[in-house]
Amino acid sequence: MPLRIFGSAGKKKPVSELRAAKEGQPQEEETLEVLLERRKKIELKLKKLQQQAKRADWDLSPVERITKWGHRSYVGGLDLETWFGIGKHQYQYLVSKGLRAHHRFLDIACGSLRLGQFLIPYLDEGCYFGLEGEEILVQAGLENEILPELVAMKKPRFSFNYDFDFDFIDGFDFAMAQSLFTHLTTEDIARCFHNLKSKAGPDSTFFFTYFEGDSSSNPTESHANKGWRYSVSELSDIVSSEGWTMTNIGGWGHPRNQKIAFAKLAI
């Protein structure tokens, strides 16, 4: 007598019938490639759910959002791979463009030190300067991302304001604003270049990233967790209006497809 099992409707079906039905259906081979693709889809769904949850919190104050999401997630580090990966990518890119340990580096919107955790140990004492609007982010970075002995040794300096007040530095060799202009209006971008001009020398280089695209649907007020897109010509016009010359690089291997450009004082 063949072994029988119950179906969903309570009817008994011989195992032989179930096996035959299964064998009659095309089965996808569970290769490593298939499993990795399935994992990728699940991770994308989780990220979308996280982003949707974040949008529901946009009306909260920055401090409330930082407290709720954590210092990494607030600046876009939804997972460890993204958090460390983007910071390391910036660091390696800057070194490839000539940054050396003795250079004075200005990290504009340094956040919770996604880049700083790599640059502070690399740069000479007193050569790292970070500007950030939310002091709580920097404190979280100092407490969680860098050894206190390194902080004491390297003596990084910080200023906390949203006004692009750069009076805490005398000058810089390299500066970077990664994923900053992707959250700012044209007026605030112009303010950054305007205020930074007095601190730049003829050899100073300012790298910045942006999302390329149609700006017609951009929000009307700058927001740390909303996105802005600009064309290359729009950014170039802003930069030149403040006495700088922009050179667009474009793609640089950013995992979220942010483009990059740099600016130097106009001669």
pTM for the complete prediction?
0.75
* pLDDT over 90, % of the chain: 54
- Tell me: pLDDT of 223 over 80: no
> May I ask the CATH class of domain 78-265?
alpha beta
Report residue 146 as tokens: 């860098």
Arithmetic mean of pLDDT, 117-137: 96
Write down the residue that tokens 């007020």 correspond to: 221
Name every residue whose Cβ is closer than 8 Å to that of residue 156 and which is 6 or more positions away in sequence. Answer: 116, 120, 128, 129, 130
- Tell me: pLDDT of 8 over 60: no
- Tell me: pLDDT of 129 over 90: yes
Answer positive or negative: Cα dihedral of 25, 26, 30, 36: negative
Run of H or E including 128: strand 128-132
Length of the chain: 267
Give the start-to-end residue ranges of the domains of the chain: 78-265
How high is the pLDDT of residue 193?
98
Range among 40-44, 86-90, 202-206 rated most confident: 202-206
| 3-class secondary structure, 259 | strand
Q: What is the mean pLDDT of the chain?
A: 84
- C-alpha dist (Å) from residue 146 to 75, 140, 152: 17, 10, 10
Under DSSP, the state recorded for 126 is: T
pLDDT higher at 228 or 70: 228
Beta strands 259-265; 244-250: pairing state: antiparallel
pLDDT higher at 228 or 164: 164
How high is the pLDDT of residue 200?
98
Instruction: Write the DSSP string, 58-85.
Output: TTS-HHHHHHHH-HHHHTT--SHHHHHH
- C-alpha dist (Å) from residue 12 to 1, 19, 20, 22, 144: 13, 14, 15, 16, 60
How high is the pLDDT of residue 267?
79
Compute and round to an integer the Cα radius of gyration of the chain. Answer: 25
Task: Band the pLDDT of 163: cuts 50, 70, 90.
Answer: very high
